[in-house]
Amino acid sequence: MENKISSVTCQNCGVCCRNFPFVELNDKELTNLENYTGKHRNSFTEPKGRSYADGHFLKTKANGDCIFLRVNNGTYSCGVYEARAGICRNYPVTEQHWLWCNTNRVK
- pLDDT surpasses 60 at 32: yes
pLDDT for 69 equals: 92
Residue 71, beta-bridge partner list: 76
- pLDDT surpasses 50 at 16: yes
pLDDT for 5 equals: 41
In sequence order, which residues have a C-beta less than 8 Å from that of residue 8 and are 6 or more positions away?
Answer: none
- pTM to 2 decimals? 0.78
Question: 51 vs 91, which has greater pLDDT?
Answer: 51
Per-chain mean pLDDT for the chain: 82
What are the CA-CA distances from residue 96 to residues 7, 28, 54, 74 (Å)?
20, 26, 26, 25
> 56-58 and 45-47: which strand pairing?
antiparallel
Q: If you ran DSSP here, which 8-state letter would residue 30 be given?
A: H
pLDDT for 9 equals: 60
- Band (pLDDT 50/70/90 cuts) for residue 27 is very high
Strands annotated E in 1-107 = 24-25, 45-47, 56-58, 69-72, 75-78
Residue 52, beta-bridge partner list: none
**C-alpha to C-alpha distance for 61 and 49, rounded to whole angstroms:** 19
pLDDT for 4 equals: 40
Question: 93 vs 73, which has greater pLDDT?
Answer: 73
- pLDDT surpasses 90 at 60: yes
Question: 88 vs 26, which has greater pLDDT?
Answer: 26
